[in-house]
Amino acid sequence: EAGVTQFPSHSVIEKGQTVTLRCDPISGHDNLYWYRRVMGKEIKFLLHFVKESKQDESGMPNNRFLAERTGGTYSTLKVQPAELEDSGVYFCASSQDRDRRHEQYFGPGTRLTVT
């Protein structure tokens, strides 16, 4: 069974540009989450999809961030326009069972550098 995959693994962009990150969850997992880790600090929750619906987006930092999950499969996270403080590692995770929803399977992350 393939794990959570993320693309790209690294992205370097200039301040003001747009970047789109992609996440493919484990097949059959209805729950999809985005997290990010900035400058070696704690991993912070961004949002949670159940299928194509946003269940919780309380962690989204501002309206420069837009997440979508059309069709309830893969998800994209767009940052537009990017700022220096957006640099960090963006993780995607997925889970299947409602009873074990906290046991989330993480992808390898996308390292975003904004210069």
For other proteins, the binding residues (CB under 8 A) are: 4, 31, 33, 35, 40-45, 48, 55-56, 58-59, 91, 93, 95, 101-109
Q: How far is the CB of 106 from other proteins (least distance, A)?
A: 3
Residue environment code for 21-34, b if the CB has 16+ CB neighbours within 10 A, otherwise e: bebbbbeebbbbbb
Of 28 and 40, the one with the shorter C-beta distance to other proteins is: 40
Q: Considering beta carbons, is residue 88 or 109 the nearer one to other proteins?
A: 109
Closer of 12 and 16 to other proteins (Cβ): 12
Least distance in Å: CB of 30 to other proteins? 11
| Burial readout 52-67 (b: 16 or more C-beta within 10 A, e: otherwise) | eeeeeeeebeeeebeb
User: Cβ of residue 95: shortest distance to other proteins, in angstroms?
Assistant: 7
Q: Are 59 and 45 in contact (CB under 8 A)?
A: yes
What gap in Å lies between CA 99 and CA 83, rounded to an integer? 38
Minimum separation from the CB atom of position 97 to other proteins (A):
11
C-beta of 10 vs 15, nearer to other proteins? 10
As to burial, measured by CB atoms within 10 angstroms (0-12 exposed, 13-18 middle, 19+ buried), residue 46 is buried
